[in-house]
Amino acid sequence: MTTVLVLNGPNLGRLGSREPDVYGSGDLAELDRVLSAAAPAGWTVELRQTDDEATLMSWLHGAADSGAPVILNPAAFTHYSYALRDAVALVTKAGGTVIEVHISNPHAREEFRHTSVISAVATGVIAGFGFDSYLLALHAIGLRTA
Ligand code: DQA
């Protein structure tokens, strides 16, 4: 049984109503349904969201201990949280997988979004495909665990 953690950072709990022109009209419950439907047999997708940096870090610490692969949308923390970066590094340097995902393409947006302090320590990065960014990440985890 593989459990994939899908961790979402600040303001992503507002998906559905938050800037639908940028993030689409689907909410987190829909993302959960889409990912659960796409998960291979025997896999569990555990989707979580928090606006709290410390909570996100504690979830990553848990992944470092359990070895669960992680799909992480760090949201705005992407651009400035060295604490989150260190927590991601803790997982990946221990041999774990953390795929950084973004619904939008931050590189096509404001200048401050062009920097990710997470990417250099993530296993890989997928951005700009809407909810499909998460599906592509799930697929990548499947390729790595095959
Ligand atoms: C985001 C992009 C970030 O720049 C932004 O702060 C978010 C969402 C995305 O999924 O496109 O909250 O991570």
**pTM metric for this prediction:** 0.97
Q: Which domains does the chain have, with CATH numbers?
A: 2-145 (3.40.50.9100)
What pLDDT, on the 0 to 100 scale, is given for residue 1? 79
- Which of 61, 80, 82, 102 is flagged as catalytic? 102
Given strand 70-73, what is the order of strands in its sheet?
43-49, 2-8, 70-73, 98-102, 124-127
pLDDT along the chain (146 residues), means of 10: 95 94 94 96 96 98 97 98 98 97 97 98 98 98 86
The span from the first CA to the last CA of the chain, in angstroms, equals 13
Flag whether 126 is marked binding: no
> 64: which 2 tokens?
């470092």
Ligand 1 centroid to Cα of residue 142, in Å, is 24
What pLDDT, on the 0 to 100 scale, is given for residue 145? 82
Flag whether 73 is marked binding: yes
